[in-house]
Amino acid sequence: MQVLAVVVWVQFVASQLYDPQSIGPGSIAWDILNPLMVLGGLVTIWVGWQRKRAFDSGAEGGLTTDYFEANVTLYAGIAVLHLFLWNWSGKTFSADAISFHWVWIVIDIVFPLLYLSAGRYLVRRDAVPA
């Protein structure tokens, strides 16, 4: 997840340098990354669900960092994946006019942050002995 976050972020920034219109190699790179981003979005939602479920079943209450991270990971992951699928299906199956450029910018900024959060949680969880 953390590697995918870095790859998406680097592609987002670098594509403006080598293919700002996304009609050449930038478009091909995004075509390869898009299915991986969907998979990463699903993993992010799953991680958010697991974190929220673990927090809700625990004895702690109130607004803590874990509570905030679990809810943001889950609900932001759902919202951004929904935006991604809506925009991607509009670009793929319909006219490019249905796919909004500003939505891609939001997606390409928020998804790497969510991937980093989910990846960090997975690494931390595996490092803690049961």
pLDDT on residue 97: 63
CB 11 within 8 A of CB 30: yes
Q: Residue 45 — very low, low, confident or very high, per pLDDT cuts 50/70/90?
A: very high
Q: Does residue 105 carry a pLDDT above 60? A: yes
How much of the chain exceeds pLDDT 90, in percent?
A: 44
68-104 pLDDT per residue, tens: 888 999 999 999 999 999 888 877 777 666 667 888 8
CB 2 within 8 A of CB 119: yes
Q: For the whole model, what pTM was predicted? A: 0.84
